[in-house]
Amino acid sequence: MTRRLPCLCLALALLGGCAEYTPTGPTYALKKAKLDVDLPPGWLRYRPAKEAYVITRDGLNLARIELVATPVERQTRGLQPFRRGAAPPELADAVLRRFGATSHLAGFHVESVGPARLAGADGFVADAICTAPTGLRQRARLYAVEMNDCVVELRLVAAAQVYFERHAAAFEAVVASLRSEPRPSGSGPRLSEPRP
């Protein structure tokens, strides 16, 4: 009986919606931006996240991928809204300033910013170094593009040693899969972004 008790408690927590981590499906729909992405297999969704769809394989402090779609002119307390039609360098400045101001990461320092094509549109890619609240040195790679009246951000934040390189290819596959057309019906379940 004592062996069954932990399993029973876990099952009740999962059924009751208390689980912090749940398996991801094969794709995710960013409904606000009318975009889809393919998700890497074996990753788990972090459920308490509200503004972003957050997935991890090794734990949030070691590696996580964040997917965010923000309406272009949405007002956020203390932050300027994104400007509709901003050129990629202006968009990069706004996205990186927001991420540095709103993330829990300390010592956010941008190392490089360059152009990138995402789902056929002009955007940017940036690499940065930062420190987690635990003191762990982390690397971040951020892609962003304005599409369908939203600024879409895709981020990999991972421990600078080992984990960033380990998950970079999976993250780049997520970025490469970004598309504006939905998957054909019958091709598997799709997950939608969290509701505000």
Higher pLDDT: 195 or 145? It is: 145
Residues across the chain: 196
Which among 36, 34, 12 has a CA at the least distance from the CA of 25?
36
User: Could you state, in order of their start, the residue ranges of all structural domains in the chain?
Assistant: 20-192
pLDDT in tens, 51-89: 899 999 999 889 999 999 999 977 676 677 888 999 999
Residue 28, strand partner residues: 37, 191
Alpha-carbon span 133 to 113, nearest angstrom: 25
pLDDT in tens, 90-130: 999 999 988 888 777 888 999 999 999 999 999 999 999 99
Burial 96-129 (b: 16+ CB within 10 A, else e): bebbbeeeebeebebeebeebebbeeebbbbebe
First vs last Cα of the chain: how many Å apart? 42
Mean predicted lDDT score pLDDT of the chain: 84
| Domain 20-192, second-level architecture | 3-Layer(aba) Sandwich (3.40)
